[in-house]
Amino acid sequence: MRLLVTGGCGFIGSNFIHYILEHYDPEFVTNVDALTYAGSIDSVAGLAARYGDRYEFFHADIANADLMDELMRKHRFFAVVNFAAESHVDRSINSPQNFIHSNVVGTSVLLDAARRHGVRRFVQISTDEVYGSLGSEGRFTEQSPIAPSSPYSASKAGADQLALAFHKTYGEEVIVTRCSNNYGPWQYPEKLIPLMVINALRDRRLPVYGDGLNVRDWIHVADHCAAIVTVLLNGRPGEVYNIGADSELTNLDLVHRILDYLGKPADLVEFVTDRLGHDRRYAIDSSKIRAELGWKPLCTIDKALPATIDWYIANRQWWEKLIQ
């Protein structure tokens, strides 16, 4: 089968392409990416040489209907897996229109092209941020109300609802996944973990929003990729699946783990003005995907976070090009 993977040069998308080509022979992957600031062609370098015609790259904006139509005429895709998105909350506050273009318009174009060209499945990759903020207790379930707090999460919520509407209206086999915070290799340096690792390696201040007690539920990207493949192959159309690893940490705890592992002093932490609309806590209830589809996370943050830090140490040349 051939998959159309959009946003495949971004963090999660590139890890997904590596994962499925390595574990699922003879799947074929067409990677579409606009190569905006967070898309790195280096993250998929060597795939064409390694996998031959099982992998191809197509440079395009998913909101370009003509190009998406051309691509879907070229291949008979089994499924679209839509990672393509602007995803940084701070940038969405400053430039919300860019997020509407990629996350809402782009998803609409893909859904319509997939419907017209007979693509069997459409997996919409979303985020737990569409649910808004939690108090000190409880977890988001698939039945939790949608209550986005930023232009980014609002645009993702809109894309999710549009995708599910295509299932109800046209019968498309649409499935939505909503995952907690990811970490792992190839993550753009503006995100929390790589930013803190890189600043610590350079003996620079580590900016922590507010009091640092905002809580996030962390999952290694390899576990997320495995969950997406499980949903792609066995998920029920029209359903939403939450994906999480039960690894809640405050931002401050996470930063101190990074500093401790690198042997850097705690006084590198610098508390800065809190972000607008900063959600206090996220926590995912992933019991549905575990019970229905048999998925479970294999990575623990105690082991996978040090391995992630080591990756950024070993791949300094990659991130130095991005932050110059």
Per the annotation, the verdict on 86 as an active-site residue is: no
String of DSSP letters for 17-68: HHHHHHHSTT-EEEEEE---TT--GGGGTTHHHHHGGGEEEEE--TT-HHHH
| Residue in 152, 183, 241, 312 annotated catalytic | 152
Starting at the edge strand that comes first in sequence, how are the strands of the sheet with 79-82 ordered? 55-59, 28-33, 2-6, 79-82, 121-127, 173-179, 240-243
Rounded Cα–Cα distance for residues 157 and 127 (Å): 9
Q: How many CA atoms lie within 13 A of 272 on its CB side?
A: 12
Give the tokens for residue 39.
Answer: 């898309």
Task: Judge contact between 122 and 111, C-beta under 8 A.
Answer: yes
Q: What is the CA radius of gyration of the chain?
A: 19
Per the annotation, the verdict on 152 as an active-site residue is: yes
Per the annotation, the verdict on 274 as an active-site residue is: no
Alpha carbon of 80 to those of 42, 57, 173, 176: distances in Å?
22, 15, 10, 12
| Residue in 33, 61, 86, 129 annotated catalytic | 129
Rounded Cα–Cα distance for residues 62 and 103 (Å): 9
SS3 of residue 261 by DSSP: helix
User: Which neighbouring-strand residues pair with 281?
Assistant: 215
| Residue in 128, 160, 172, 285 annotated catalytic | 128
The residues carrying an active-site annotation are: 128-129, 152
